[in-house]
Every structure is written in C-alpha cells, then in structure tokens.
Chains A and B, each alone.
Chain A
Amino acid sequence: MERKQPKAAITRRRLGGMAVALGAAAAWRPARAQTGADVAKAKAEGAVMLYTSLDTKIVDAIIKPFTAQYGIKVEYYRGGSADVTAKVLAEADAGQIRADIVDASDIGAFLAMKQRGLLRAYDSPAAKAVAANLRDPDGMWVADRLTQAVLQWNTQKVGKAPAHWEDLADPRFMGKLAYFSSSNGDGAPRLYTLASAFGWKLLERYAANKPLRLNSPQVMTQIIESGERTAGFLINDNIAWRSKLQGKATDYCFPAEGVPTELGAVGLPKAAPHPQAGALFYDWWMGEAGQKLLADGGKYSSRSDIAPPKDSPALSQLKLIVPDNQKLFTQRADILDRLTTIFGGEWGG
C-alpha cells in the first residue's frame, strides 16, 4: 500500500531534480517580464497555436471573436491536461516548441514546465483582475479558471439524491457509479485532493462499489444521462452544469463538506514560434471578454470581476478544497501508483 519505491531511486530522482533546478537557475536571466502584447507584431505573426485541455465548445467560442477582431488565426491542440503537458515537455526535449500559449487544468504541470525553464514571465494587464494568490510570483503562469469536481446523478434512476461524498460509498451504488481518468492519469489530481481531505479509505470504498471508469468527463456525463450508470464522482462542474441546462435527466451538487478545486492556468512558452500573437491571445483569454465567454460556457473564472456561471453559487459560498500543488507535483509517481493499486487499470504511473 505504502510507497514501494526503493530508496536509491528516490535519491536519484532527487538528484535529478536538483540538477534540473540548477540548470534552470543557470538559464535564468534577470530579464524584465514583458508587459502587454505588441499588437502590430502580433498581427504580423498572424497565427497562434494554443495548447489546451479546455472543452472545445468553450475554446471555439473564445477563439471566434478574437480572430474576428485581430485577423489572427488560432489553431489548437486539445487533449487532457496530462496530454498537453507531456506534449510540451516532449517538444521541449526536441527543441521544437510549437505552442504559443499553454492552458492546462493542472498547476503541477505548470510547476513542471517552470522548473524546466520552459516558460517566460509575462505581465499581462488582463491578469491584474486575478487575485495574487492565484498567480505565479514570477509571472510565469496565471490561473484562468477553477474547476470544481462535483457529484452528478441521473434524476430518474437515483432514488434519494446523494449529497455527500460518503453517500456514494454506500453499497446501494454497487455497480452504479462512474468516474473518469484517461490512461495517462488526468483524473488523478482531483482523486488525490479528495483523498487528502477525506482519506484514501474513501476511494477504496468507492472502488469496492466497482465504479465504471470513463476516458473523459464528456463521456462520463453521457453515461449518467443515458442512465447506464446512476451517479458519478468528481465530474467537472461545467459539464454537469451544461447537462442539466440542456434538460437532460441529471442533477449535481457541491457537497457541503468540501469540493475539490482544480486550478487551471495559462502560460507562455519561452521558445514560442509566435510570441507576440501568443501574448495578445493571452490578454484576450484572460481579459474580461474572454473570461466572460468562459463563464458563459459554465466555467468559474479566476477573475474576481466575473460572475459565476448562470444559476451557480458564488465560490465564496462553497467550501473549496485546494490541493497542495507542490506535493501533487513531487509525489505524482506515488499517487499514480496508489490509484493503480486501488482502482486497477492504466494511470500512466
């Protein structure tokens, strides 16, 4: 159950980490962060490549007015947070960074990219509306959205609606639960967050109910909508929100004892092929208009001046559980191992 890692491996990993940190330190130049994008240069660059883990429906909505306003084409690479991060790291290995702007719902990923010195500091005027504790002190990334992992159920199948995390561990949900994670573990952070708040035992009891694992929250909600599974844990609030809004037979709740929150963030790669266009899109993405579109799509914006999605409670009314991102980052391998032991299947660990 506990860490099976041999001691030597840990030491070597630590050494490796130190080496990387030293390398990053050596590469660090005390250059001042760029403030705001150069619109003329951005237009001359003419294109932006966005790497994102956000739902494509929202991405498309945000891109459209940007392209209309600036005439800059936005293409995107879309995958889970782990896909996006692994892709950026691999491209960095090859010295072939293709992303102009990276968005992923995993702060650990940004810590990893920052540690490897892949990000550049950027002081966006649009980021000022984001609380200081949601920004990297060095300006390498800024949170763009908060995804709450909620409880969702099929209203026709559920009987008594669950209200607490504990409820889904009940044997009456045997063979009736769903959750998600792709094979490279992008569902892991929220499971870890839940476990660190309420104990790993809770996850083991979920596992005892033989939950169905899906590849993405988008497929998970379909399974609950169709009634194939009755209830699900840790689905994205915006997905559950949209399902209900579309009149599907589903409902969801933010359990009062606490809701795992996943911070999404954006950052600019140092070696981006279109640095100014990337920065301009960053300003747009983080700006009031962009973040408003995000909220229209059911996401909680990180900006303090953007209202929550329609009919959704203010974040201040929720008890948010924020994971220790540093731990999430450094203990990733162990966390994935542990989830593999509990749930089985492939976690990329």
Chain B
Amino acid sequence: MSASLAAPGTATSTAMPRRGGTLAPRLALGAGVAALLLFVGYPLLWLVLGAFGLPRGFGLDGFARSFTRAANVAPLVNTVVLAVSVGLASVVVAVPLAFAVARTDVALRRVVHGLVGLAYVLPPYLTSVAYIILLGPNAGHINRALAWLGLDFGLNIFTGSGVVFVITLHVFAIPYFLTCEALQSVDGSMEESARMLGAGRWGVVRRVTLPLVAPAITGGALLAAVNSLALFGPQAILGLPAQIVYLPTRIFGAVSSYPPRYPEASAMSLALVALTVAGLAAQRLYLGRRSYVTVGGKGVRPARWRLGPWRWPVGGLLMVPVLLAAVAPVTVLTLAAFSKVWTKAPTLDNLTLAHFQAALLDNQIAVRGLVNSLELAVAAATLAVLIGLAVAYLDLRTRLRGRVMLDYLAILPLGLPGTVMAVALLQAFIHPPVVLYGTIWILLVAYVARAIPMGARSANAALRQVDASLEEAARITGASWTAALRRVLLPILRPSLLLGWLLVFIPSLSELSTTILLYSSGTETISVAIYRLNDMGQLEVVAALSVVLIGIILVALLLMQALAGRSRTAVVASAAGG
C-alpha cells in the first residue's frame, strides 16, 4: 500500500512524458487514487484491526469467540452447505439451458435468453418476498392451488432448500452466460472432425464440446457459489424465520444488537472473506485453463441442431426456469401491489391503488427511501466510473511503479461480501479522524467502494480499445493533456463509460446487504423500506415499492440495451463475470 501511496507524485512524470504534466491531470489522478485508498484500503485496514479488538483493546478474543462458540460454528457450516448446493444447482439449471439456447434452433430461445438477464438484475430480496407470496406455507398461491386440487405437499419457502432455491434462481444466470459464451466460441471444425470420424451427436457433445466448455461451467458454478455467500436478502428474509443462520445474518445479528460486538463480527467477516477469496481463486484457476483449449473467436461457427417437431416442446421446457426466476416474481408482486389483500384473488373489488399511495406519498420511510436511493445510485455510478477511469488510465497509459497494487486494490471489493464491507466501513468511519456514520456519506462511500471493480473494469475495457496514438497525435499537434483527454479520449469512451455507469447504477439502486447495517434515520433507502415493511408484515406496500423499483430497473436495462447496441444480456453477462 505504501508503494501506491507514493504513486501520485511519481505518476505524472511517466504519465505525461512528452511535455511534462500540468497540475490538473496530477490532481485528477491523485484524487482517484486517494479515493480508492480511503474507500477501500482504509476500511479494510479497520476490519483487520477490529478483529483484534481495536480500538477498545487488543487481543484474540474476537477470533476465539467466532470460532469456538456453537452459535458461530453452525452459521459457518450452513454457509458452506449453501454455497455448494447453489453451485451444483446452478449448473444443473444453467448448462442444459445454455446448450439449448446456444446450440439448437429451439423456439423462444431469444425470450429465454432475455429473461435470464432479467432474473439476474432482479434484486434477490424481491424474489424472496415474491416467493413468500407464492410458496408461503398454506397461504402461498401455489400451496393454495395445490390444496384446491386436493394435493398437499406442504411446500414451504422458509426452509434451507427454500433459500437455496431462491438464490439459485438469481445466480444461475452466471454459469448460464459464461457457458453460452463458451459454447458460441468453440471452434466448430473440431466438432465436425469428430463427427466425420464417426462419433454420434451425443458422443461429440460428451467427448468434445463439454470438455471444451468445462472451464466455463466450473468457473461459472464457482462464481455462483461465491455470489450466494453474500446474498443477505434471501438469507435474512427466508433464512431467519426458518431459524437457519448464515454468516452474513450472524454478522448482522452481532453488530445490530446492543452492545454491538465488533471484534467477533470482524473475525467472522474475515472467515467469510476467506471463503469468498478461496472460491474466486479456484475460479481464476479454472478459467486460466482456457488458455490451452482451442476456444477462440475464430474458426467455423458450429451449426445449430435442428429439433424439428421438438422445437416448441423443448422451448416450453426451457421457459420453466425463467418463468420461475423472472416472470412469476414480477407478476405476483405486481398483482399484490394492486390488491387490497394479497391472499385474495385479483378481482375488481380487491383492486386498489392505496398501496402505491402509501409507498409513494404516505409512508415517510418509503418516500425518503426512494429519493435517497436514486440520489445515491446516480452519485455512486458517477464516482465509480471516474475512479475506475483514473485507475485504468494509470494502468494502461503509464508505466508507473505501484500501479499493479492499485489494480489489486480496485478488484479487492469483489472479495468482500456486502455485509463484510459494512462491518469494515462501520468501524472505519464511526471514529475520528473520519466520521461519516449517521450521514448519507457513509452509504455513498459504501456504494462506490462496492462498485469500483465494475467501474475499473468498464473503464479498462473501454480504454483498451482506444490506441494511445490518438491522444499522442492530439498532444503532438499542440493540445494540452487536459484538452487531449476532454476532446479526444472522453468522446470516444463516452458510450462505454455510460454503459459502465448503468452497470453500477442498477445494483446500487437496490443495494441491501451493506445498507441495512449503515443506514440511519433520514438515510433510509428503498431496500431498507422494503426490508422493514416486510418485517412488519405489510406485504402489499412492499409489493408496491417493488413494482416501482422494478420499473426503474427495466428503464435502465432498456437504456443499456440501446447503448450497447448488442443484446442486453450480453452486457449483463459481462456484469455477471464478477
């Protein structure tokens, strides 16, 4: 870290080699670096210090407590079981789906592909609420329908498998997109050769195609598993009533009870980080194997299988997971939002707009939440892209020492689940010298910190596409560094940066896991309003707020699609990559 601290000073001499830098670029880059250190480095430092009991004392008590108390061991086990189950379940759902969509002429494949994207951007806590409405014991729509048919399976979403189910519906998109992408870029000539040598259709799949895309599948499964570790929403909304505690909900309990126990929470957070980092490292290893496999963009495009009369039946089958993951949740939330009582049928006399009035006008926490979330998401997206741009610029346009450290710092938040980030920020910014707790700024810092990897990656990808010679040309013809940046580089980058902006905006708008530990009176967000109202059993108002949130997300998705000029889901896929 000290190397990167020294960076700004040495930065500019190499960054602007031709004419010597002016003050502006040094300041801009320096600000980006400083923000990164303050938003990511400093809280992380406090997470580690906190685990040792600082600032109140010093000792290993936090570690001892977190790994010896029975109350903490069960959550650790539950969390690992959750991750493994979700990883496996995601593959089971994602791989056949990806194969059918990428390799056959199955009906509805574009619809399926798009809906997987929607399932991924839908906040998983909303899916959880939707499944309380659908699969709540007795009262849930599906359970009542089954009972009406004389069938009673006693389905209950408030169980460990309920949590796995809802989380899988969200994260299977990751292995799906990665597998799709891999399947599309497999060199078709290899498969053709195998066929010519006499292999059957399935033989080719089993012996050629699957081994070629195996790294993508395994990598996707690992990412799905890692993602599941961090999803506080379903773990809390479904897991807590089921009396099943996971590490994030356990950490939440330790910090949100009084007196808060930071050492224990910090030590458990480090355990969660270890799990996350182990998963990510394994995933890197698997994706690394790609390099000696002939999956490349070039070569023959594999032909799609012709399903003939099976086009529609198979298409119908493919719709099942996306109906469960995207269509059903959005539909039941919309119905509940307009119903006087959600358990009753959506008939005319059960119709009302009262919940929207409550959500948008009367309920002060909901109203504040909506405003705060919009403000925070706009600000966070802007800052994350700017910081990402500074990091990418230092990385790609300079030969500055320490820039590798910066790069690492910028991807570090990927290894930090939202709950962990909250525990780190809480300890960093509740004491002097920088006190942000109790203000909206701590939420902004949290959102920016969480979004920096996305911002940096978007900016990096964008900047890579632009050759440095363009700026150099501008510099040679007499433009200052600032002018070259403003008049040449930024206009070229604008569409990609806007895309990156939206990729940060959407998750920030609905962020829950960090917010729930950091918000205060007056700084509630839409996610907090939804979480709290759900606690109070006001499901209809929750549904109305959800409809508003989903509406904004859909608008952002459409914007993204327009910007990207390619399929929206390809964009989501790149988002899912982390």
A282 to B139 alpha-carbon distance, docked (Å):
42
State whether A222 and B256 are in contact (beta carbons under 8 Å apart), knowing that A87-B520, A95-B435, A337-B71 are contacts in the complex: no
Q: What's the minimum C-beta distance from B361 to chain A, rounded to whole angstroms?
A: 13
Count: A-B pairs, CB below 8 Å = 130
Query: Contacting A346 at CB < 8 Å: which of B56, B245, B343, B364?
Result: B245
The answer to whether B521 and A228 have CB atoms under 8 Å apart is no
Contact indicator per residue, chain A 297-337, by CB within 8 Å of chain B (1) or not (0): 00000000000000000000000000000000000100011
The answer to whether B243 and A343 have CB atoms under 8 Å apart is yes
The answer to whether B291 has its CB under 8 Å from any CB of chain A is: no
The answer to whether B236 has its CB under 8 Å from any CB of chain A is: yes
Interface residues of B in 455-498 (CB under 8 A from A): none
B79-87, B531-539, B562-570: which one contacts chain A?
B531-539
State whether A183 and B521 are in contact (beta carbons under 8 Å apart), knowing that A91-B437, A112-B259 are contacts in the complex: no
The answer to whether A182 and B521 have CB atoms under 8 Å apart is no
A109 to B253 alpha-carbon distance, docked (Å):
17
The answer to whether B521 and A49 have CB atoms under 8 Å apart is yes
State whether A226 and B258 are in contact (beta carbons under 8 Å apart), knowing that A93-B430, A184-B253, A218-B537 are contacts in the complex: no
Q: What's the minimum C-beta distance from B149 to chain A, rounded to whole angstroms?
A: 20
Chain B residues near A98 (CB-CB < 8 A): 438, 520-522
The answer to whether B260 has its CB under 8 Å from any CB of chain A is: yes
Query: Contacting A185 at CB < 8 Å: which of B137, B255, B257, B429?
Result: B257
The answer to whether B71 and A184 have CB atoms under 8 Å apart is no
Interface residues of B in 313-362 (CB under 8 A from A): 343
A31-39, A77-85, A145-153, A255-263: which one contacts chain B?
A77-85
The answer to whether B182 has its CB under 8 Å from any CB of chain A is: no
Query: Contacting B435 at CB < 8 Å: which of A76, A89, A94?
Result: A94
Interface residues of A in 64-118 (CB under 8 A from B): 75-79, 82-83, 85-87, 89-91, 93-99, 109, 112
Chain A residues near B294 (CB-CB < 8 A): none
The answer to whether B257 and A348 have CB atoms under 8 Å apart is yes
A112 to B71 alpha-carbon distance, docked (Å):
25
Q: What's the minimum C-beta distance from B241 to chain A, rounded to whole angstroms?
A: 6
The answer to whether B257 and A216 have CB atoms under 8 Å apart is no
Chain A residues near B256 (CB-CB < 8 A): 82-83, 86, 183-184, 348
Contact indicator per residue, chain B 263-307, by CB within 8 Å of chain A (1) or not (0): 000000000000000000000000000000000000000000000
A51 to B524 alpha-carbon distance, docked (Å):
13
A165-173, A207-215, A283-291: which one contacts chain B?
A207-215
Question: Whose C-beta in chain A lies nearest to the C-beta of B57?
Answer: A12
A324 to B138 alpha-carbon distance, docked (Å):
40
Question: Whose C-beta in chain A lies nearest to the C-beta of B260?
Answer: A86
Question: Whose C-beta in chain A lies nearest to the C-beta of B438?
Answer: A96
State whether A76 and B258 are in contact (beta carbons under 8 Å apart), knowing that A94-B437, A213-B241 are contacts in the complex: no
Question: Whose C-beta in chain A lies nearest to the C-beta of B249?
Answer: A346
Chain B contact residue count (CB 8 A cutoff):
45
Q: What's the minimum C-beta distance from A224 to chain B, rounded to whole angstroms?
A: 12
Query: Contacting A184 at CB < 8 Å: which of B244, B257, B426, B431?
Result: B257
The answer to whether A183 and B260 have CB atoms under 8 Å apart is no
A332 to B259 alpha-carbon distance, docked (Å):
9
Chain A residues near B243 (CB-CB < 8 A): 213, 343-346
Q: What's the minimum C-beta distance from A111 to chain B, rounded to whole angstroms?
A: 11
Chain B residues near A99 (CB-CB < 8 A): 521
The answer to whether B536 and A86 have CB atoms under 8 Å apart is no
Chain B residues near A183 (CB-CB < 8 A): 236, 240, 249, 252-253, 256
Q: What's the minimum C-beta distance from B505 to chain A, rounded to whole angstroms?
A: 27
The answer to whether B139 and A228 have CB atoms under 8 Å apart is yes
Contact indicator per residue, chain A 119-145, by CB within 8 Å of chain B (1) or not (0): 000000000000000000000000000
The answer to whether B536 and A216 have CB atoms under 8 Å apart is yes
Chain A residues near B70 (CB-CB < 8 A): 341
Q: What's the minimum C-beta distance from A330 to chain B, rounded to whole angstroms?
A: 12
State whether A76 and B257 are in contact (beta carbons under 8 Å apart), knowing that A51-B521, A228-B138, A337-B71 are contacts in the complex: no
Chain A residues near B260 (CB-CB < 8 A): 86, 89-90
The answer to whether B250 has its CB under 8 Å from any CB of chain A is: yes
Chain A residues near B241 (CB-CB < 8 A): 212-215
The answer to whether A46 has its CB under 8 Å from any CB of chain B is: no
A60 to B61 alpha-carbon distance, docked (Å):
44
The answer to whether B253 and A346 have CB atoms under 8 Å apart is yes
A248 to B259 alpha-carbon distance, docked (Å):
39
Contact indicator per residue, chain A 153-190, by CB within 8 Å of chain B (1) or not (0): 00000000000000000000000000000111100000
The answer to whether B54 has its CB under 8 Å from any CB of chain A is: no
Interface residues of B in 218-260 (CB under 8 A from A): 236, 240-241, 243-245, 249-250, 252-260
The answer to whether B439 has its CB under 8 Å from any CB of chain A is: yes
A343 to B243 alpha-carbon distance, docked (Å):
8
The answer to whether A82 and B536 have CB atoms under 8 Å apart is no
Chain A residues near B426 (CB-CB < 8 A): 90
The answer to whether A245 has its CB under 8 Å from any CB of chain B is: no
Chain A residues near B250 (CB-CB < 8 A): 346
Q: Main secondary structure on chain A at its contact with chain B?
A: mixed
The answer to whether A182 and B535 have CB atoms under 8 Å apart is yes
Chain B residues near A109 (CB-CB < 8 A): 258
Question: Whose C-beta in chain B lies nearest to the C-beta of A227?
Answer: B138
Question: Whose C-beta in chain A lies nearest to the C-beta of B245?
Answer: A346
Query: Contacting A216 at CB < 8 Å: which of B139, B236, B436, B535?
Result: B535
Chain A residues near B521 (CB-CB < 8 A): 49, 51, 75-77, 87, 98-99
Chain B residues near A97 (CB-CB < 8 A): 438
A341 to B70 alpha-carbon distance, docked (Å):
9
Question: Whose C-beta in chain B lies nearest to the C-beta of A75?
Answer: B364
A91 to B260 alpha-carbon distance, docked (Å):
12
Q: What's the minimum C-beta distance from B299 to chain A, rounded to whole angstroms?
A: 53
The answer to whether B258 and A215 have CB atoms under 8 Å apart is no
The answer to whether B257 and A86 have CB atoms under 8 Å apart is yes
Chain B residues near A90 (CB-CB < 8 A): 260, 426, 430, 437-438
The answer to whether B169 has its CB under 8 Å from any CB of chain A is: no
State whether A219 and B258 are in contact (beta carbons under 8 Å apart), knowing that A77-B520, A346-B250, A348-B253 are contacts in the complex: no
Interface residues of A in 4-62 (CB under 8 A from B): 9, 12, 16, 49, 51, 56
Contact indicator per residue, chain A 268-284, by CB within 8 Å of chain B (1) or not (0): 00000000000000000
The answer to whether A340 and B435 have CB atoms under 8 Å apart is no
A93 to B431 alpha-carbon distance, docked (Å):
7
The answer to whether A346 and B365 have CB atoms under 8 Å apart is no
A16 to B256 alpha-carbon distance, docked (Å):
20
A332 to B138 alpha-carbon distance, docked (Å):
36
Q: What's the minimum C-beta distance from A238 to chain B, rounded to whole angstroms?
A: 14
Interface residues of A in 198-237 (CB under 8 A from B): 212-216, 218-219, 222, 226-228
A83 to B259 alpha-carbon distance, docked (Å):
11
Query: Contacting A75 at CB < 8 Å: which of B244, B255, B522, B535?
Result: B522
Query: Contacting B364 at CB < 8 Å: which of A76, A218, A219?
Result: A76
The answer to whether B240 and A346 have CB atoms under 8 Å apart is yes
The answer to whether A336 and B139 have CB atoms under 8 Å apart is no
Q: What's the minimum C-beta distance from B427 to chain A, rounded to whole angstroms?
A: 10
Interface residues of B in 488-545 (CB under 8 A from A): 520-522, 532, 535-538
Chain A residues near B536 (CB-CB < 8 A): 56, 216, 218-219
Q: What's the minimum C-beta distance from A45 to chain B, rounded to whole angstroms?
A: 15
Chain B residues near A349 (CB-CB < 8 A): 71, 253, 257
The answer to whether B61 and A9 have CB atoms under 8 Å apart is yes
Question: Whose C-beta in chain B lies nearest to the C-beta of A81?
Answer: B258
A213 to B364 alpha-carbon distance, docked (Å):
28
A-B complex: 4 closest residue pairs judged by Cβ atoms:
A348-B257, A96-B438, A77-B521, A345-B243
| CB pairs A–B below 8 angstroms (8 shown) | A56-B536, A90-B438, A183-B253, A216-B535, A219-B535, A219-B536, A226-B139, A349-B71
What would 15 more interface pairs be, CB under 8 Å, given A90-B438, A98-B521, A346-B243? A86-B255, A87-B521, A89-B258, A94-B430, A94-B431, A96-B438, A183-B240, A184-B258, A218-B536, A218-B538, A228-B139, A345-B240, A345-B243, A346-B249, A349-B253
A residues at B contact (CB < 8 Å):
9, 12, 16, 49, 51, 56, 75-79, 82-83, 85-87, 89-91, 93-99, 109, 112, 182-185, 212-216, 218-219, 222, 226-228, 332, 336-337, 340-341, 343-349
